[in-house]
Amino acid sequence: MSLENYLKQLISQRHADSLYRSCKTHEGAQQPVLRHNQRNYLAFCSNDYLGLASDPRLQQAFGDSMQHFGIGSGAAHLVAGHTTAHQQLEQALAEFTGRERALLFSTGYMANVGTITALMGRQDAIFADRLNHASLVDGALLSRAQVRRYAHNDMEALERLLTQSKATHKLIVSDGVFSMDGDVAPLPELVALAEKYDAWLMIDDAHGFGVLGEKGQGIEAHFQLPVGSVPILVGTLGKAFGTFGAFVAGSEILIEALIQTARSYIYTTALPPSLAATTCAALKIAQTETWRREQLQNLIQHFRAGAATLNIPLLPSDTPIQGVLLGNAAHALQASQLLAERGLLVTAIRPPTVPQHTARLRITFSALHEISHVDQLLAGLSEVLPLVRKKSR
Ligand SMILES: *Cc1c(COP(=O)(O)O)cnc(C)c1O
């Protein structure tokens, strides 16, 4: 078969399965109202939980630091790409997480792939939640370690796998807040099992940082666990902090080892320095402006109470990620399209991002949303969901 024909077949199969994906191009900054095709939409799709992606103070900081540092970093960290801005951000992240050190990566995907492959090899075993983010899955596969997946948040299943394992090193890996479900990993149990079975623990708190805990310190603070309970802690900067990039926080020796061995740290260009400087400013705002987390809680409670009275099938979640479970990919896609016709942007999440038969609408809130926005969303959902369900009969 020619390449051309193979690709045509691949694309048409995606269409047939309601799994075809495409970008929605919008014309301005990330904010609750997005402009797309000459029309305004109220959007519930971004991970800009604190509403910092278009904050004027951060725009100012970005401009100022760009005047000083120029645009690109020009090289990898270990070559000539590491500036005082990167250094200051790594220090700020170490302080923020209460760790000895933090290491910047260019993206969360790269932080996860680089960290897992640096730590694990053929003789080792990785214990992973079934709903972990794709970057954790890919890191595990690339490491060539044995991968054992346990049912979502099922600590008994995890313990059974740990009991059976004879691997040299064991690594338990989990999302902190699950990116497509919004529920939180049972961290106290994970910490206890890691200790009991002499396993290492890695948590990817991409959606917890900035959102959970009084000052946004993430999942450890959420459970009031001692700072440092998670030895390998990953965070991203493109979500609640509103900028771009990611980090791993941990002990001095962990970070030293990653610098020596994490290939996605070594063999790639460092973040633009002005982004690092801007993220330092974002980190301060994220910690001090507690009203942003309070507003998120107001929105979440209002939405869940409204959805309950309207019989909207929500997944269990107390975070700004709220899922409406529809099951069938075509239904999720159709619901998303019908909402768009009503000026509401909500993403349909389909396999392979989520398991088969669990397609859903993924709603996310930002601190810049207002209660009236949530009311518009609820009205839209209550109109659209019966139409989708009717068609399925
Ligand atoms: C978004 C996300 C990532 C990837 O982070 P990027 O910086 O966007 O590459 C990793 N893990 C989880 C859980 C995420 O949600």
Q: Which residues line ligand 1 (CB under 6 A)?
A: 107-109, 112, 133, 135, 175, 179, 204, 206-207, 236, 238, 246
Class of domain 56-288: alpha beta
Tell how far the Cα of 89 is from the centroid of ligand 1, in angstroms.
Answer: 19
Is 179 considered catalytic here?
yes
Residue 393: per-residue pLDDT? 47
Residue 389: per-residue pLDDT? 75
Give the Cα separation of 305 and 347 in Å (integer).
21
Helix axes 371-392 and 291-309, enclosed angle (nearest 10): 40
Whether residue 156 contacts residue 192, with contact meaning beta carbons closer than 8 Å, is answered with no
Mapped onto helix, strand or coil, the DSSP state of residue 377 is helix
- 380: number of Cβ within 10 Å: 21
Whether residue 99 contacts residue 250, with contact meaning beta carbons closer than 8 Å, is answered with yes
- In the chain, which segments carry CATH 3.40.640.10? 56-288
Tell how far the Cα of 136 is from the centroid of ligand 1, in angstroms.
Answer: 9
Residue 391: per-residue pLDDT? 59
Is 215 considered catalytic here?
no
Would you list the DSSP string of 89-134?
HHHHHHHHHT-SEEEEES-HHHHHHHHHHHH--TT-EEEEETT--H
Pocket test for ligand 1, best of 110, 133, 175, 279 (most atoms within 8 A of CB): 133
- Domain 24-50+290-392 in CATH 3.10.450.750: no
Per-residue pLDDT of the chain (393 residues; tens, 9 = 90+): 999 999 999 999 999 999 999 998 999 999 999 999 899 999 999 999 999 999 999 999 999 999 999 999 999 999 999 999 999 999 999 999 999 999 999 999 999 999 999 999 999 999 999 999 999 999 999 999 999 999 999 999 999 999 999 999 999 999 999 999 999 999 999 999 999 999 999 999 999 999 999 999 999 999 999 999 999 999 999 999 999 999 999 999 999 999 999 999 999 999 999 999 999 999 999 999 999 999 999 999 999 999 999 999 999 999 999 999 999 999 999 999 999 999 999 999 999 999 999 999 999 999 999 999 999 999 999 999 999 976 554
Residue 139: per-residue pLDDT? 98
Which residue's alpha carbon is nearest to atom 14 within ligand 1? 206
End-to-end CA distance of the chain, in Å? 39
- In the chain, which segments carry CATH 3.90.1150.10? 24-50+290-392
Whether residue 298 contacts residue 371, with contact meaning beta carbons closer than 8 Å, is answered with yes
Please state whether the predicted TM-score (pTM) of the whole model is above 0.85: yes
DSSP 8-state assignment for residue 230: S
Give the Cα separation of 58 and 66 in Å (integer).
12
Tell how far the Cα of 235 is from the centroid of ligand 1, in angstroms.
Answer: 8
